[in-house]
Structure 1
């Protein structure tokens, strides 16, 4: 994270005695990345964070991935996904895998019930709230989240998700770390003046979250699969912490669009970067103001990346007539030249403002398709530019 924060009670010096009012020594835990060579936080526990009493291998629910073959653009409707018991879906075990590759797994959940305690020890997670509200309870404290929030969860953060009603989430599970693009940051980690968001737009935990309990289960994802630990004491026992590594929230409405006289390329919308992928935010904005500008995107072949768009608000001008709506995802793979739907370029001429909101994930390795993608695909989408094809009617 770009800046230092302090929450709860901590001692004046690191790695010195820090005792409870009853006189017992608090247990330090250093949460750090890149082998003590990068960002970290120092947490103070009431009990030993190492005290497990059981460990059990658990089945992995991600399912298998299949290649996008034959290679074609695809449209998926997250709103059409069904769960066997919708009243019992949680944001961890209820994830449905849409896409994945060696760098990132992308899933969707329509959560209605609290999740188990969970920790992803294989990489950072990025959650986008498409709809609803809830609270993320974490070892660092609680975070209230709602429509439009991105949540960055550092590797090995223990948390659970408690929905307020239905909470619809797009979930990215990386195999490394997710953060602001490096070009937005100074050498000391401060957001620079040209960045489309800054520290004032971010929210982090503001107070400790203390929960009592014994023999508490935590589901842990690691590189070999899933393990369920049973801890002697509840992991939410941190009385204070400080550092630059913690979960944080940024709302897409606080992204300040970068515009120009002619159409701007997707990097101006970049919001996060991860291992071999980027995340961009397309927000309501004034569009191109050259007198001869064509505001919608030009046809383009991203030869090194697959482009995944998640449509979450307004009306995406370049996709009118394609069947895409709120909750849709389009996948335009490398090897396919993609662009606006027929008539969209002409129709956009003279527009001054686009009321559209979308989250884009560009991956630099091909995205394979998960079981949830198979369950909600619109087979006609690939032929909408020509208006005819094997699934067209």
Structure 2
């Protein structure tokens, strides 16, 4: 492609409040004064609304943005169906839900020239994208920047880098996303992924690697705090939106759209990333997970892991999320007379956990363990908890205040079981002996009489 990108300033702008109205313009005067759709938009631009919710949803839940662009999105040729690669979408009907505890090593190295879209690999999911319920878990492993543009009509994409930084060129501007950050691209927003300062992979070429939650349901929002009060967990002020930037590009550009589980492509005669100004609340953003304000016990025991929720996609049942995004960020452990790792547990929710860096305090790290880039799945009511080595160590530990700052883990937690794709169930990097980590948990019961 040829052309140029323009922006008002480097970097991002902080959101004044999560989900509130925001605006940005790459050229002064590009935003209309007081009217969303004036008879003639400023600077010869086209006015266009992008709706992420139904028009009549309650104001607090309504998502929409007005875009002022060089060409309207309607100016494109027909799309044709293209190969889906390793991407799958709910409903997941190729196999049955598996009650076993499962764990995977990181994805193998990709073939040369694999970009973010080609490097997406679906582990599994639930629900039905056509009915806007449920979610899917993808991983990505890429070694090439995209020279095409992608959008997802099926859901919003929460991108969790584990290795290598990403530059997301979106219709709204640029998002720089490093490991330890997450980025959210709303449903229908077009973007391109370029690799930044990628970490060396296992092969000769650098790669970028990470996780993606595709949320078909209600858009992610901050959870209610209830008795916690007004402060804590993720603060709205820490979410950052792009500064407006645009591409004024003439020439063929491949655009790929995900629609009802399939990929469709068209060749435009211009870049669709041509938004000069915008305002609204249906916007992409980035969040630094280390800014999460952890809440925990300062006496004994520890609260349920729901206190680590960063974002939630609510369902029609209050408190029962379609999917929660949870982070286990650096924190102090100070509970007295308390077994401090996560407790043994069976849960009505299903949990997919990934590791961004370091080690997780309930699992043994290292080869054959829970490692960065890998992941585990504990479907609903599957028994899980600390492995034997962790249990033995924690049971004998001196209970002095302890700083947990040598790892960063996360979880996608969902109300429905996750059904695996056949390629995830049969993957070479599936750990076949994961159950062994709980072997050797001995009987310690000693009746008093």
User: Would the alpha carbon gap of residues 235 and 184 (structure 1) be closer, same or farther in structure 2, given more than 3 Å must change?
Assistant: farther
The structure 2 residue matched to 1:353, chosen from 403, 406, 411, is: 403
The answer as to 2:39 corresponding to 1:17 is: yes
The answer as to 2:432 corresponding to 1:379 is: yes
The answer as to 2:324 corresponding to 1:278 is: yes
Moved more, 356-365 or 372-381: 372-381
User: Would the alpha carbon gap of residues 341 and 168 (structure 1) be closer, same or farther in structure 2, given more than 3 Å must change?
Assistant: same
User: Would the alpha carbon gap of residues 295 and 203 (structure 1) be closer, same or farther in structure 2, given more than 3 Å must change?
Assistant: same
CA distance in structure 2 between the aligned counterparts of 1:330 and 1:92, rounded to whole angstroms: 23
Match of 1:340 in 2: 386
The structure 2 residue matched to 1:74, chosen from 102, 107, 111, is: 102
TM-superposed CA distance for 1:52, in Å, is 1.3
Moved more, 1-10 or 156-165: 1-10
SS of equivalent residue, structure 1 residue 183: coil
Does the 8 Å contact 1:263/1:288 carry over to 2?
no
The answer as to 2:140 corresponding to 1:109 is: yes
Q: Deviations over 1:262-319 (max 9, x none)?
A: 22211000111236111100011101332x11111221110x2211111222322211
The answer as to 2:98 corresponding to 1:98 is: no
The answer as to 2:80 corresponding to 1:56 is: yes
CA distance in structure 2 between the aligned counterparts of 1:327 and 1:215, rounded to whole angstroms: 35
SS of equivalent residue, structure 2 residue 242: coil
Q: Deviations over 1:153-197 (max 9, x none)?
A: 110000010002322120111212432334149xxxxx9733312
- Gaps spanning 5+ residues in structure 1: where? 186-190, 389-393
The structure 2 residue matched to 1:178, chosen from 219, 229, 238, is: 219
CA distance in structure 2 between the aligned counterparts of 1:279 and 1:221, rounded to whole angstroms: 23
Does the 8 Å contact 2:31/2:42 carry over to 1?
no
TM-superposed CA distance for 1:325, in Å, is 2.2
CA distance in structure 1 between the aligned counterparts of 2:390 and 2:81, rounded to whole angstroms: 52
The structure 2 residue matched to 1:301, chosen from 346, 349, 362, is: 346
CA distance in structure 1 between the aligned counterparts of 2:436 and 2:306, rounded to whole angstroms: 28
SS of equivalent residue, structure 1 residue 52: coil
CA distance in structure 2 between the aligned counterparts of 1:163 and 1:373, rounded to whole angstroms: 29
CA distance in structure 2 between the aligned counterparts of 1:366 and 1:127, rounded to whole angstroms: 21
SS of equivalent residue, structure 1 residue 382: helix
TM-superposed CA distance for 1:358, in Å, is 0.4
SS of equivalent residue, structure 1 residue 378: coil
Match of 2:20 in 1: 3
Q: Deviations over 1:72-131 (max 9, x none)?
A: 1111111x5243x1x311111221112222211211112221222001011111000112
Match of 2:359 in 1: 315
Moved more, 87-96 or 124-133: 87-96
Match of 1:137 in 2: 169
Match of 1:31 in 2: 50
CA distance in structure 2 between the aligned counterparts of 1:4 and 1:129, rounded to whole angstroms: 27
Aligned residues: 374
SS of equivalent residue, structure 2 residue 78: strand
Match of 1:391 in 2: none
Q: TM-score, normalised to structure 1's length?
A: 0.88
Match of 2:233 in 1: 196
SS of equivalent residue, structure 2 residue 68: strand
CA distance in structure 2 between the aligned counterparts of 1:117 and 1:3, rounded to whole angstroms: 27
SS of equivalent residue, structure 1 residue 268: helix
CA distance in structure 1 between the aligned counterparts of 2:251 and 2:338, rounded to whole angstroms: 64
The answer as to 2:349 corresponding to 1:324 is: no
CA distance in structure 2 between the aligned counterparts of 1:242 and 1:151, rounded to whole angstroms: 19
